């Protein structure tokens, strides 16, 4: 049982390049999330998927797109990377509507945009 996995762990991009961050969970959770974490800013929600087949914008969606490929996988795409997107990206999953709605986080992707 791996929990939530993310690839890659580290990435360096040049401004204007594109990339996709991959996330998968093996806990049969309905809901998945993408957050970014910047120093002193806590975790800010980019997009989420409450259930397979649905996606919704979070607090900071500009410059990103997502795909809920199936129940296990939720990817985040940067179409044209900008230095402002330098951050640590965390994927999370949860059992929507559960008694505590605990979120389980992946190890993160550390992205630098030059």
Nearest to 58 by CA among 43, 45, 75: 45
Helices (H) and strands (E) in the chain, counts: 0, 11
> Which residue in this structure is represented by tokens 């998945």?
32
Separation of alpha carbons 52 and 69, rounded Å: 8
Q: Which is nearer to other proteins, 63 or 107 (CB)?
A: 107
Q: Which stretch binds other proteins (CB under 8 A): 16-24, 64-72, 74-82, 97-105?
A: 97-105
Q: Does 42 bind other proteins (CB under 8 A)?
A: yes
Q: Which stretch binds other proteins (CB under 8 A): 17-25, 62-70, 72-80, 96-104?
A: 96-104
Among 29, 33, 34, 66, binds other proteins (CB under 8 A): 33
Q: Does 41 bind other proteins (CB under 8 A)?
A: yes
Q: Across-strand partners of 37?
A: 43, 88
Among 17, 19, 45, 63, binds other proteins (CB under 8 A): 45
CA 9, distance to chain mean position in Å, is: 12
Separation of alpha carbons 71 and 62, rounded Å: 24
Q: Which is nearer to other proteins, 86 or 104 (CB)?
A: 104
Q: Does 40 bind other proteins (CB under 8 A)?
A: yes
């Amino acid at each position: 049982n791996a929990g939530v996995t993310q690839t890659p762990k580290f990435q360096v991009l040049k401004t204007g390049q594109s990339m996709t961050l991959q996330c998968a969970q093996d806990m049969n959770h309905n809901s998945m999330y993408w957050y970014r974490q910047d120093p002193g800013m806590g975790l800010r929600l980019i997009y989420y998927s409450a259930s397979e087949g649905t996606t919704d914008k979070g607090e900071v969606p500009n410059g990103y797109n997502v795909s809920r490929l199936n129940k296990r996988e939720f990817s985040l795409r940067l179409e044209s990377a900008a230095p402002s997107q330098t951050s640590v990206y965390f994927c999370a999953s949860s059992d929507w509507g559960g008694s505590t709605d605990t979120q389980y986080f992946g190890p993160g992707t550390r992205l630098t945009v030059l």
